[in-house]
């Protein structure tokens, strides 16, 4: 997240400081191997190298804890960000990795950054978050569209195969004379982190993406349901190096039936950035756990503590909004309370009904511009851009 992105940073930094403090003993006991807390930059920075480096630098200076990782998406511009941030000695979590070509670029950027850093390399930490199940979801969709027996036989196999080859690439690049020279200066490996490990297809075993990816220097992110399933019937063994030749054959067969994994990775990367990173399915009213109600002022739009820095607010009482052909008439803001925990929100009317629910994040100024009609006299209307405006709209509002 970026400080200029409209987040209430007093809440964000308090939460981060608390999490960092809770996990600091783990970090210390493990010698810097565990106990990290990650915070992501605003999606708007995904294609801006200099702004991303500046934001990562500011976060590390603000929080000043060795167990902080700043998430940087592995876009083309993000690869340059990784190199520059690592060269400054900043610890990062590379996120939104979906393909082997980009992963190789990320490793190279990390190594170049370490080589350029003239400080203590033992204090520079990094992981590379490789997303797993989302690859199968997209590849399976394409295989089913192809529909041939050869294509259908490959469903549910792309993600594990690619991850196993990614681990082989990791082992190859973090060995040999180049890496040994960095390790002699205290450098730590940039371990693969397996993300998106819950199966999306109910026909697949719950622990499919866990059982097959266990090995040294790896990290796995696990939802609670998958933890319980693994404890019940998972396989605890080193499996990441098993079946590598089969994995190579699987990728060859995917190409033969017409699957371009590079194109799949590019699509998933674009979707991940557009969504602000991976997240659960769109929430419903049940997900609003509102920790801090705020009453939004009417007429002059008195500022609430959630107002984004730099948002344009009327300085004089505004006139009532005029309904036009493309604008419905909505109740005044005074009839609603905005309840938000800075991750989701709801507009709740006086009768207790929820008229609009669950904007995922408040990290961009246009969110409030869309939510509140600042120039319309204290009325609100929502008109999100993009192909899926209904995604963020309650049934009683219209754009």
Of 274, 304, 335, the one marking the end of a domain is 274
Cα(248)–Cα(161) distance, rounded to whole angstroms?
7
Cα 380 from Cα 332, distance rounded (Å): 7
Residues 269 and 344 in one domain: no
Choice among 74-88, 212-226, 344-358 with the minimum mean pLDDT: 344-358
My answer on whether 140 and 214 are in the same domain is: yes
Which CATH number do you get for residue 43?
3.20.20.70
Asked whether residue 325 falls in the same domain as residue 245, the answer is no
For range 31-54, the mean pLDDT:
92
Reduce the DSSP state of residue 213 to 3 states and report it.
coil
Q: Is it the case that residue 107 has pLDDT exceeding 70?
A: yes
Is residue 4 in a domain? no
**Active-site amino acid positions:** 71
Show which of 274, 306, 341 is a domain's final residue. 274
Domain co-membership, 217 together with 74: yes
Report residue 379's pLDDT band, with 50, 70 and 90 as the boundaries: very low
- 215, 186, 78, 190: which is closest to 122 by C-alpha? 186
Please state the rounded mean pLDDT for residues 233-251.
Answer: 96
Let me know if residue 154 belongs to a domain.
yes
The whole-number pLDDT of residue 354 equals: 45
Instruction: Kindly state whether residues 48 and 172 are assigned to the same domain.
Output: yes
pLDDT for residue 15 = 86
> 388-398: per-residue pLDDT in tens?
333 333 332 22
Which string of DSSP letters, residue by residue, matches 47-68? Answer: T-HHHHHHHHHHHHHHH--TTE
Same domain, 307 and 266: no
Q: What is the mean pLDDT of residues 298-304?
A: 27
Residue % of the chain over a pLDDT of 70: 66
Closest CA to 363 of 17, 45, 70, 58: 45
349 and 336 Cβ atoms separated by less than 8 Å: yes
For 28-47, what is the mean pLDDT?
92
Q: Which of 266-280, 317-331, 343-357 is predicted least confidently?
A: 317-331
User: 339 and 223: one domain?
Assistant: no
- Does residue 310 register a pLDDT over 60? no
Pair 68, 132 in one domain: yes
Domain of 370?
A: 281-399
Same domain, 323 and 185: no
Residue 244 pLDDT > 90: yes
Q: What is the mean pLDDT of residues 208-225?
A: 95
What is the average pLDDT across 263-290? 61
Judgement on whether residues 105 and 240 belong to the same structural domain of the protein: yes
Which stretches does DSSP call E strand in 326-398?
A: 336-340, 345-349, 354-357
Angle 158-173/100-116 helices, nearest 10 degrees? 20
Say whether both 285 and 269 belong to one domain.
no
The reported pLDDT for the residue numbered 275 is 80
Instruction: Assess whether 189 and 221 both reside in one domain.
Output: yes
Q: Is 1 within the bounds of a domain?
A: no
């Amino acid at each position: 997240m970026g400080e200029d992105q409209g987040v209430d940073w007093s809440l964000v930094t308090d939460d981060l400081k608390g999490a960092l403090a809770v996990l600091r003993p783990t970090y210390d006991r493990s010698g810097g191997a565990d106990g990290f807390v990650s915070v992501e930059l605003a999606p708007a920075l995904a294609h801006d190298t200099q702004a991303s480096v500046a934001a990562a630098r500011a976060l590390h200076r603000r929080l000043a804890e060795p167990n902080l990782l700043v998430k940087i998406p592995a876009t083309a511009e993000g690869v340059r960000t990784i190199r520059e941030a690592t060269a400054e000695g900043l610890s990062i979590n590379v996120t939104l990795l979906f393909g082997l070509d980009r992963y190789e670029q990320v490793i190279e950027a990390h190594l170049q950054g370490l080589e350029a850093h003239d400080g203590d390399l033992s204090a520079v930490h990094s992981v590379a978050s490789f997303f797993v199940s989302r690859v199968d979801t997209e590849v399976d969709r394409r295989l089913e569209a192809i529909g041939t027996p050869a294509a259908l036989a490959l469903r549910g196999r792309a993600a594990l195969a690619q991850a196993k080859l990614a681990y082989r690439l990791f082992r190859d690049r973090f060995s040999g004379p180049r890496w040994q020279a960095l390790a002699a200066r205290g450098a730590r490996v940039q371990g693969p982190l397996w993300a998106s490990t819950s199966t999306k297809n109910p026909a697949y075993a719950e622990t499919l993406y866990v059982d097959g990816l266990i090995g040294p220097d790896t990290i796995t992110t696990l939802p609670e349901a998958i933890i319980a399933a693994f404890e019940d019937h998972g396989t605890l063994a080193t499996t990441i190096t098993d079946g590598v030749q089969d994995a190579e054959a699987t990728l060859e067969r995917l190409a033969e039936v017409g699957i371009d994994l590079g194109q799949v990775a590019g699509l998933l990367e674009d979707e991940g950035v557009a969504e602000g990173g991976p997240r659960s399915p769109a929430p419903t009213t049940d997900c609003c756990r509102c920790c801090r109600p705020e009453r939004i002022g009417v007429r002059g739009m008195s500022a609430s503590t959630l107002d984004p820095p730099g948002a344009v607010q009327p300085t004089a009482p505004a006139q009532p909004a005029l309904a036009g052909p493309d604008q419905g008439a909505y109740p005044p803001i005074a009839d609603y309370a905005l309840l938000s925990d800075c991750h989701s929100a709801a507009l709740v009317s006086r009768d207790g009904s929820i008229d609009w629910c669950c904007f995922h994040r408040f990290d961009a100024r246009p969110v409030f511009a869309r939510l509140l009609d600042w120039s319309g006299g204290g009325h609100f209307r929502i008109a999100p851009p993009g192909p899926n405006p209904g995604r963020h709209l309650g049934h009683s509002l219209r754009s």
